[in-house]
């Protein structure tokens, strides 16, 4: 099953997998793909964090399916 997320700025991204950061195995990275095919990584703590946007607390990436 494909899991997709909407970035708080509007972009849609497909979750690919979790990975361990080689230089620090205590850090879990999220690997995800943009609609244009670009692959990105971000620490899971940042990917799933709540942020302040336009006066509201929102998820940086919110699941859409």
Q: What is the mean pLDDT of each run of 10 residues along the chain (65 residues)?
A: 94 97 95 97 97 96 92
pLDDT of residue 47: 98
pLDDT of residue 1: 78
Of the candidates 10, 29, 13, 31, which has an alpha carbon nearest to the alpha carbon of residue 21?
A: 29
Q: Where are the chain's structural domains?
A: 4-59
**Is 0.85 topped by the overall pTM?**
yes
pLDDT of residue 65: 74
pLDDT of residue 64: 95
């Amino acid at each position: 099953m494909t899991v997709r997320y909407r970035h708080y700025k509007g972009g849609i991204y497909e979750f690919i997998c979790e990975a361990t950061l080689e230089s620090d195995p205590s850090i879990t990275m999220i690997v995800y793909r943009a609609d244009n095919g670009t692959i990105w990584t971000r620490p899971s703590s940042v990917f799933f964090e709540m942020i302040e946007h336009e006066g509201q607390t929102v998820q940086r990436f919110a699941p859409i399916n």
